Amino acid sequence: MSSCQTLSVVLDHELVTFTRAVGVLRRRNFPIKSIAVGPSASPGLARLTIMMQTDPTTADRAARQLEKIVGVHQAAAFPMGDGVARELALVKVRAGQERYGELLDVALLYKATIVDESADAAILEVSGSEAFVVSFLRALERFEVLEVARSGAVVLERAAAGPTPHPLTPEAV
Amino acid sequence: MTELLTGAQVMCRVLLEQGVDVMFGYPGGAIMPFYHALPEYPELRHVLVRHEQAAAHAADGYARASGRPGVCVATSGPGATNLVTGLATAHMDSAPVVAITGQVPRNMIGRDAFQETDILGITQPITKHNVLVQDAELLADALRDAFAIALEGRPGPVLVDVPKDVQNQKIEYQAGGSRREQAGADGKRPAPDALREAARLIAEAERPLIMAGHGVQLAGAYDELRCLAERTGMPVITTLLGISGFPESHPLHLGMPGMHGEVHVNRAIQQADLIVGVGLRFDDRVTGNTAAFAPRAKIVHIELDPSEVGKNIPVAVALMGDCREILHRLLRLVQPRDCTAWRCEIAGLARVREEQYRGGLSPAGILTALNEVTEGRCTIVSDVGQHQMWVAKLFPYQRPNTHITSGGLGTMGFAVPAAMGVRLARPDEPVWAISGDGGFQMNMQEIATMVQEQIPVKMAIFNNGYLGMVRQWQQFFHGRRYSATPIWSPDYVKLATAYGVAGWRVEDAHQTRDTLRQAMAVPGPALVEFMIEQEANVFPMIPPGASLSEPIEGEPAPLVST
């Protein structure tokens, strides 16, 4: 059954390792929704977070393909519910004086911050679950949205849930 | 103790450290420092091929025959891209190959320099690993790691790209080993519960089968496989790359499954209630339509690569690890039993086919004669197409790892160059490269390499004047429209003569044995062309995408013209 699955991958913080990982996902035709990468807790290692709209078996298959890459140290697949997912969005909105108050109301409702403003435009920053960010963007549709930059989700497995053993590792069989 | 050496010298020293005795390559601008250093190390034999693709196939053949990494060398740009088909072939069939390529100097990378190509990017999907060495200080370890990675776990090709200025850079060299930890030491062992469950399924099954793949050869699990079969009476099916992993004359041997598997082999799969898969990946040529594959069977999958388990078909019990070790542990739990009734049932499914061939030259006749003439002591390297299926099904392999072919990628042109590598790995054994007239013409330039390097490969060509397998598909599925499949050949006997090699043409079955004997008797390479039936087909055949229960067993009805 298709649902939102997370792949959380710890790998060398090197461009060549990122391209290897992303290349495997592309050529094996995995249904990717978003990819986010940044430093992890360990120096020299990055965490790559991939969201997939698929079934748990396919997500697990992707994790096992990723684990084979030299430079990938860990790859785990888990349903979105087993992790805490957050993404960040920056939204540039045209906002003249006459509607500035209205914009502030929306920002307040979504706990968004105005991080830059000029005479007729502002940049808002919001973070939260994907649904929350999408809802915020909808709320901004009544203004003139000039540009959107979204980070893609970063996820950590819940402390109580993880790290779970691989469904097909020897211990689990 | 350290020594001041150039990067190129370091490359040679590491090759020696790794026990390399032969490599296949072709020089060019960006790899010249390496070739300049090479004569200082006469223990490193270099075989100059006529095309880099052949270097990769020869390294692959060497690796498959010896179990040690095969090495190929090429320059940057076109030299490196010519390796691609060979690396993809090795990747699909899990052969440990180390490819070394020259690259333009570091300050030129990314500027579209002369003969620059992003070989790292190009080969990323078709290598197990690849690396661009940006500093000679890293060179020795990069190469040592390449050898370790090529061999560890499931083997595969590794490419090391070395810029020309790094080859010239002087550094302090220190002898050493790979930094990588020994593979298999990571505690990947199946749990006792899983082993017990597998043993229970084997004990309870009424119609169990063993399907053995390439993993048996890679792990050298021949004795363990035979032991399991004999203790349980389970019939053994060998996949294309599993062939010769179990003696063909053994009463428990069933044959090859899949698209060109015999009817009783595929029917046995469809009726089985248990399949113990050993070191195979349930490829689509084996399973046919996966939804209809072995509908009654539970699958026990013994496999080294976790990403293969459950990839194509669902598995009841996964036993992950080296198949020799797992079979060994499984054998302690498996109770003796027999499968007499089941084997009788399978025997009842076998069919006899009668086919006519021009001059009586049947593939079966040729291969039986080859077995007699070589007394079964030879390694056969086949190409891709109809002859490949005949060679797989009709030669009675008795000894382990004596059948070498391009299975996964299906690379035409593989046999002739790969056989050179096989022969150098097995200097005391006759090596026969068997090709069709299409595949042979893809790499026949390598006869020159055999002559120059004195590599006595014996070549057989099954000449039917067609790209036979494609023609067969056209006959069956495309209304006999033989589009671009008739193929002209040169006079191969004269071609052999031009290369200074002995050559024969066989047009009648009576000539077969004597000609093969003469070819075996001449000291160097030899070539025998068999003029076989033009429109002979490989039967039976499962149409692509169909289930194993739906074989084609005879010619389609001829088209009626109106």
For chain A, the distance separating the N- and C-terminal CA atoms, rounded to the nearest angstrom, is: 22
Q: How far is CA B88 from CA B81, B262, B413, in A?
A: 11, 29, 13
**Other beta carbons less than 10 A from residue B160's beta carbon:** 23
Q: Residue A162 has what pLDDT?
A: 54
Q: Which residues contact B463 (CB under 8 A, 6 or more apart)?
A: B436, B437, B489, B492, B529, B530, B531, B532
The residue of chain A nearest to residue B123, with distances taken between CA atoms, is: A20
Q: How far is CA B198 from CA A129, B21, B195, B221, B293, in A?
A: 44, 43, 5, 18, 20
Hey, do A3-82 and A84-154 end up sharing a CATH topology, with the first three levels equal?
Answer: yes
Q: What is the mean pLDDT of residues A107-119?
A: 94
B124 interaction partners in chain A (CB closer than 8 Å):
19-20, 23
Q: Residue B360 has what pLDDT?
A: 84
The architecture (CATH level 2) of A3-82 comes to 2-Layer Sandwich (3.30)
Q: Of A95, A149, A153, A101, which Cα lies nearest the Cα of A125?
A: A149
pLDDT per residue, tens digit, chain B (562 aa), is 789 999 999 999 999 999 999 999 999 999 999 999 999 999 999 999 999 999 999 999 999 999 999 999 999 999 999 999 999 999 999 999 999 999 999 999 999 999 999 999 999 999 999 999 999 999 999 999 999 999 999 999 999 999 999 999 999 999 987 777 654 444 567 788 999 999 999 999 999 999 999 999 999 999 999 999 999 999 999 999 999 999 999 999 999 999 999 999 999 999 999 999 999 999 999 999 999 999 999 999 999 999 999 999 999 999 999 999 999 999 999 999 999 999 999 999 988 877 777 778 999 999 999 999 999 999 999 999 999 999 999 999 999 999 999 999 999 999 999 999 999 999 999 999 999 999 999 999 999 999 999 999 999 999 999 999 999 999 999 999 999 999 999 999 999 999 999 999 999 999 999 999 999 999 999 999 999 999 999 999 999 999 999 999 888 776 655 5
Task: Show the domains of chain B with their CATH numbers.
Answer: 3-173 (3.40.50.970), 192-347 (3.40.50.1220), 358-531 (3.40.50.970)
A75 interaction partners in chain B (CB closer than 8 Å):
none
Q: Residue B561 has what pLDDT?
A: 54
Compute the nearest-CA separation of A173 from chain B (Å): 6
Task: Name the token pair of B399.
Answer: 């000894």
The residue of chain A nearest to residue B148, with distances taken between CA atoms, is: A70
Determine, for residues B193 and A27 on separate chains, whether the beta-carbon distance falls below 8 Å.
no
Query: Residue B191 is nearest to which of A27, A64, A171, comparing CB atoms?
Result: A171
CATH class assigned to A84-154: alpha beta
B190 near A CB under 8 A:
yes
Q: Residue B182 has what pLDDT?
A: 54
Query: Residue A173 is nearest to which of B128, B132, B190, comparing CB atoms?
Result: B190
ipTM above 0.85, yes or no: yes
Determine, for residues B306 and A170 on separate chains, whether the beta-carbon distance falls below 8 Å.
no
Identify whether the C-beta of residue B257 lies closer than 8 Å to the C-beta of residue B263.
no
Q: Residue for token digits 């053949």?
A: B61
Annotated catalytic residue B282: no
Half-sphere exposure of B431 (CA within 13 A, CB side): 30
The residue of chain B nearest to residue A23, with distances taken between CA atoms, is: B125
Q: Residue B188 has what pLDDT?
A: 63
Q: Of B225, B257, B249, B511, which Cα lies nearest the Cα of B407?
A: B257
Catalytic residue selected from B23, B420, B450, B469:
B469
Q: Residue B124 has what pLDDT?
A: 97
Q: Residue B471 has what pLDDT?
A: 97
Identify whether the C-beta of residue B300 lies closer than 8 Å to the C-beta of residue B274.
yes
d(CA B69, CA B20): 8
Type of residue numbered B327: L
Query: Residue B310 is nearest to which of A16, A23, A57, comparing CB atoms?
Result: A57
For residues B446, B449, B451, B456, the Cα torsion angle rounded to the nearest 10 degrees is: -80
DSSP character at residue B125 = G
| Residue ranges of A 15-54 with Cβ closer than 8 A to chain B | 16, 19-20, 23, 27
Annotated catalytic residue B115: yes
B189 near A CB under 8 A:
yes
Q: Residue B236 has what pLDDT?
A: 98
The residue of chain A nearest to residue B158, with distances taken between CA atoms, is: A70
Strand (E) or helix (H) holding B255: strand B253-255
B316 near A CB under 8 A:
no
A64 interaction partners in chain B (CB closer than 8 Å):
306-307
Q: How far is CA A1 from CA A58, A78, B478, in A?
A: 10, 14, 38
Q: Residue A169 has what pLDDT?
A: 41
Sequence ranges of the domains in chain A: 3-82, 84-154
d(CA B42, CA A130): 64
Task: Name the token pair of B342.
Answer: 């089941």
